[in-house]
Amino acid sequence: MERLDLLNNMVELPEPGVRIRAVVLTHDESVEHTGLVLPPAAAGHITIKLDNGYNVSYPSEAVQEWTGLPTNEAPSSGELRAPAEDATLPRVRLIHTGGTIASKVDYATGAVEAKFEPEEMLDAIPELASIARLDAKKIGNMFSDDIRPQHWNIIAEACAEAFADGCRGVVVAHGTDTLHISSAALSFAFAGRGTRPAGPIVMVGSQRSSDRGSSDATENLLAAVHWAAYGPEPVGEAGDAVTVVMHHTQSDGVMAVHSGLAIRKMHSSRRDAFHPVNAQPIATLTFELDGFRTEHLPWYDAVRNKAAERPVAASPTLYEAGQRIAQFIAGPWLHAEQIEAVVSTGVQAVVFHGTGLGHLPIDDPQNDAPENALLWRVITRCVNRELPVVVVNQCIHGPVDMNVYSKGRKQQQMGVLGHGLNATPEAVVAKLHWMLSQNMDVKHMLTMNLCGEHRETLRE
């Protein structure tokens, strides 16, 4: 047994990653904690991740004694305890890409790493076996900021393979940071050409890793599997070819089902980080004792009822990974030489995140901002080279409307595209990439509503 008397400096504190039972002195009494030592939250402190997932920190001198314990290791693949499947339940495939929903804390560094295996997720949440017959396919262990268009293709083909194997639905476990971009890209892959996927494709993530007490991973995954197993088959026109299931509020109990084309991550850490843009959720899933209670929002049923029947996509249309799209933010720091330098690398399109209704700094009414005139010239040159130049909305919510101000009308005369867009900026850029990959007429099809990316009514 190892003991530490910090007051007498007899023994050093344990290193991060060591599992201990420690007795610490509080204001009133001594308490005992069991858990893993983390890198200290502050100098002169010890931080312990308790077995319930929460962290505690104490000044080093408060530790009266500690005992080293064996580290709890995750079971190997041969020791998993997943319950037997019910043959009467629908089949759902879990496609695993990585992200926080599939992550654990590395206690030697305190950092979260994507290192769960799919089988571990099934084993850790036995309630999944009462919802569907699950199998898992691992295509990566990536954080979502590392995902590129070639990975969209891999995910899309894995979804198609799952349907070909007889699965009723698919759940894609994905990191949250670019989840809304991947969901838009997959939507066009399966529904951009007037088709629909063979069943629900549900993307899910979590804001807190699954070994934290405040994790949202379990409820998010349960709800996603439920929607994949029992949610309505997508019609394709309602932005439902791919959906995103995440916490509806900070509290547990209610999950939101969002259109994969009308969603954006709006907060870096809250559990309800995903909000609809110019839209409302498709449905809510409320967790009750006997399972989930599903409530469709009225707009979704209305669109479904009038939607034309689409054929099932035999295979997804894929992305040309070599396409390059340059993006710039309109504002005081945008300069012509920046655009020229990037365009000279051979990009296939240029996207500006415009201010307000979609405006760019191209006017010099007081003759004291020559930078603006230079911007007008370089943008005009891009259009003259038949390089698509598109404006999306920097405000996120609301449309791009270049008819309201003379500035916008000037941009349209220049050949700048984007007037009338009300899709999310990410959905527009994914659509642009997809259209370029399919050799489509960007000018003609950009504002067309292909699969629910543009909504007739802007909703609060």
Residues designated as active site? 100, 176-177, 265
The bridge status of strand 349-354 relative to strand 283-288 is unpaired
Q: Where are the beta strands (DSSP E) in 297-439?
A: 325-329, 349-354, 389-393
Burial grade of 386 (CB within 10 A; 0-12, 13-18, 19 or more): exposed
Secondary element (H or E) of residue 380: helix 370-384
Please tell me whether residue 458 adopts helix, strand or coil conformation. coil
Burial readout 251-279 (b: 16 or more C-beta within 10 A, e: otherwise): eeebbbbbbbbbbbbeeeeebbbbbbbbb
Burial readout 349-377 (b: 16 or more C-beta within 10 A, e: otherwise): bbbbbbbbbbbbbbeeeeeeeeebebbbe
- Distance separating alpha carbons of residues 299 and 305, to the nearest angstrom: 10
What's the sign of the alpha-carbon dihedral 304, 307, 308, 312?
negative
**Strand partners for 113:** 104
Phi, psi for residue 440 in degrees, rounded to 5: -90, 165
**Structure-block tokens of residue 221:** 């995954």
Residue position matching structure tokens 């655009």: 339
DSSP characters over 131-157: T-EEEEEE-----GGG--HHHHHHHHH
Residue 60's contacts (CB-CB under 8 Å, 6 or more residues apart) are: 6, 13, 44, 45, 46
